[in-house]
Amino acid sequence: MKLSEVAQKLGCRLERPSDDEISGVAGIEQAEPGQLTFLANRRYFPLLKTTRASAVLVEEGISLARDPALAPLAALRSANPYLAFAHAMELFYQPPRYVPGIHPTAVIAKSARIGENAHIGPYCFIDEDAYIGRNAVLHSSVTIYRGAQIGDDFFAHAHAVVRESCRIGNRVTANWPRRPRRRCGSSGQLLRGSRDHRRDPRRPRGKARRPCARRSRLACRR
């Protein structure tokens, strides 16, 4: 992607020696030629002289002093370089591609229907009368209950579950719901055995009580 196109999509003002081709983003110390970096903390100003990046996201009014031995550095001026860099990461993000096919450990009912170009990962289970559209990706240990109807471009992360007779449209992503960390009673108090009820072993205990001097003397006399 050309640097001018990147600036336009990010809403930045471009100061450039040339319209370089940008292939990705990286931190200011790790960036290589052809990559875009950013500077949001003034403590890292000295790194502008030595970074190998082709362009940098910076605020207005910051001068780009460079080491003469290095190539010129283009500037993309932004009021919020940190936020602009986050948007730049989205521009260059390449999601992983999954090869169509069914893993040998997957269990699929005979009456289940699966669209073309689907990727069914290891230990997935698809129950009777379930339907999954085209280009679906079931990562691993995904469970599709009986009679579920799922549209095209479905993506299910590991351990996701679609319950019986659910209807899901196109381009939907399913995540595995995390278990609650707390268990509460009817009155709202934490139940014994829940994580927050148990004492953290890293928390220091209270000071030990000093023995009573009078009791110590009586014990010695006996």
Whole-number pLDDT of residue 126: 97
| pTM exceeds 0.85 for this model | no
Closest CA to 35 of 46, 20, 15: 20
Q: How confident is the model at residue 150 (pLDDT cuts 50, 70, 90)?
A: very high
Work out whether the CA dihedral 182, 185, 188, 192 comes out positive or negative: negative
Whole-number pLDDT of residue 94: 84
Residue 213 has pLDDT above 90, yes or no: no
Whole-number pLDDT of residue 198: 45
DSSP 156-186: E-TT-EE-TT-EE-SS-EE-PPPPPS--B-T
CATH node for 3-92: 3.40.1390.10
CATH node for 101-174: 2.160.10.10
Retrieve residue 26's tokens.
């990286």
Tell me how far apart the alpha carbons of residues 135 and 37 are, in angstroms, rounded to a whole number. 34
Q: How far is CA 176 from CA 34, 119, 138, 142, 160, in A?
A: 37, 18, 12, 9, 4
Query: What does the domain layout of the chain look like in residue ranges?
Result: 3-92, 101-174
Average pLDDT over residues 184-189: 37
Whole-number pLDDT of residue 191: 40
Write down the mean pLDDT value for the chain: 82
Per cent of the chain over pLDDT 70 is: 78
Of the listed ranges 4-13, 15-24, 179-188, 200-209, the least confidently predicted one is: 179-188
109-134 tens-digit pLDDT: 999 999 999 999 999 999 999 999 99
Q: How confident is the model at residue 44 (pLDDT cuts 50, 70, 90)?
A: confident
